[in-house]
Structure formats: structure tokens, C-alpha cells
Structure 1
């Protein structure tokens, strides 16, 4: 209402398209490094999981990466959970 009163009917448009959102935590080089590391064994000798990816990324970037974000990177790169 306030926007309409201040700027008229043109201010009522969908403004989500002009907001790209928060920038990603990793740049292209870091994503390529992650992809390369994931092709090898995990540091503990088991399978890669969200915690291991987050720990590795935290060391790479110097910024704390959450376990959930680590899992999201795994998922986005095509890794799937193994159910036994």
C-alpha cells in the first residue's frame, strides 16, 4: 500500500525478477576443485557425506560451511544417499 501511495500503480509489479538473491558460497574454481576431490575416496576412507564435504569446504574457503550445505553440494552434483 505504501509503495502504491508513494510511486503509483507501476510500483506494484513483481520485483522478484530484479533480485538475483544471495551469491553462492563457492566460485567456479572451488566447485571444480570439489568435483575433483569427490571423484576420489573420502578422507576417512568411507563414503563422502555432508559433514565431510562441509569440513573440506570449510578448510578450502576459510568460512564455516554447514553440514546441510555440504549435503546440498553433494546432491546438486548428482550424488545420492545409499540405503542399505
Structure 2
């Protein structure tokens, strides 16, 4: 039996999905908004990379916008701008 070799996009999409799932878990307890923002940002940024690798405009637009919005929230939270 031959083992299928995984490509970079396979690893990135699953790691990104894990980050987003963890972010949702933190969001549900409503005690750690900072962790939620950081994990969501990382997950969406990684999904943006996957969208670029796949040339999938829907993934690129959705996750690039989410990444920008989350980055804005992180800057406001940690820098206060």
C-alpha cells in the first residue's frame, strides 16, 4: 500500500483550522478575548495563504478581510491606537 505524500497546503489548512477551532472554544467561554483574537488572526491568515495557493478568490477575500479586521482589533487591544 502506497502512502500519499501530503503537500504544504494540506498541512497549512489543517493547522489553520485547528487555530480557528481553538479560537471558537475560547470565544465560547467569553473570558479570554485576547486569546480568541490572536488565534483567529493566525487561523485566518493561514487560510488566506491557502486561498492564494489554490487561487480561490472566495477564500482569499473572506480570510484577507477577516485577517485585516482581526489585526485592527489586535492593534487596538495591545497598542491602544
TM over 0.5, yes or no? no
Greater Rg by CA: 1
Q: Shorter-chain TM-score: what band?
A: under 0.3
Query: TM (normalized to structure 1)?
Result: 0.26
Point out the structure with the larger helix share.
Answer: 2
Higher relative contact order (CA 8 A, sep 6+): 2
